[in-house]
């Protein structure tokens, strides 16, 4: 499988409203951290997740988190 692009080596910390969100897994989206369809023609697919209540979320920005789509600190290990 291909490696994703790394749009930033930090999470996207955002206050989110309840709803479904499609997190960009490829790193190519111009609407980070969310999918804009830029993955078409690649091995990647967005990760759809539901936020049940308003809360602060740390979306993975490096695209290497084991806990996709949330940040797990993996960006600290990138070179």
Q: Is the pLDDT of residue 1 over 70?
A: no
- φ/ψ bin of 71: left (φ > 0), alpha (ψ from -120 to 50), beta (otherwise): beta
Which has the closest alpha carbon to 33: 67, 1, 6? Answer: 6
Which has the closest alpha carbon to 44: 30, 24, 60, 62? Answer: 24
- Sorted by where each begins, the domain ranges of the chain are 12-67
Confidence of residue 79 (pLDDT cuts 50, 70, 90): confident
pLDDT at 2: 87
Is there a contact between 60 and 27 (Cβ–Cβ < 8 Å)? no
Q: What confidence tens digit (pLDDT) does each residue in 32-51 have?
A: 999 999 999 999 999 999 99
Predicted TM-score (pTM) of this structure: 0.94
Q: What confidence tens digit (pLDDT) does each residue in 18-30 have?
A: 999 999 999 999 9
What's the CATH number of domain 12-67, 3.40.1340, 1.20.120, 3.90.1570, 3.40.5? Answer: 3.40.5
Return the C-alpha torsion angle 34, 73, 53, 55, nearest 10: -100
């Amino acid at each position: 499988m291909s490696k994703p692009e790394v749009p930033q080596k930090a999470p996207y910390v955002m206050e989110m409203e309840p709803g479904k969100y499609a997190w960009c897994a490829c790193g190519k989206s111009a609407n980070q951290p969310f999918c804009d369809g830029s993955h078409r023609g690649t091995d990647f697919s967005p990760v759809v997740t539901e936020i049940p209540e308003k809360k602060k979320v740390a979306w993975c920005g490096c695209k290497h988190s084991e806990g996709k789509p949330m940040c797990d600190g993996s960006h600290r290990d990138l070179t």
